[in-house]
Amino acid sequence: MHTSHNETHARSIAKGITWRFVASGTTMVLVYMATGSLETMATVGAFEITLKLMFYYSHERIWGKVHWGKLGPEPRFK
C-alpha cells in the first residue's frame, strides 16, 4: 500500500484529470456566459485544461516530497 507521501505517478495523473473536468467545465461555462461564443469557450478550455493539468501534476509531485505537516504513516488494515 502506498502512503500519501509515496503516491504513484498514475494516481497523481488520475486526480489531476478528474479535477480538470470539474474546474475546466466551470471555466468554460463562465467564458461562454461572458462571450456567448462556443469557439472562444473551446479555445480557452483547451489551453486551460492542458496547462493546468501540467501545473497540478507538478504541484502534487513537489508536495509529495515535502514532509512538513505529515503526522506519520497511514494505518494499515489487514
Q: Would you give the end-to-end CA distance of the chain in angstroms?
A: 11
CA–CA dist 60, 5 (Å, integer): 10
CA–CA dist 41, 33 (Å, integer): 9
Residues in the chain with pLDDT values less than 70 = 1-5, 74-78
- The domain limits of the chain are 9-63
Q: What is the structure's pLDDT at 37? A: 98
**CB-based contacts of 1: which residues, under 8 Å, 6+ apart?**
74, 76
The cell numbers describing 43, all together, are 479555445
Q: What is the structure's pLDDT at 27? A: 94
Is this model's pTM higher than 0.95 or not?
no
Q: What is the structure's pLDDT at 17? A: 82
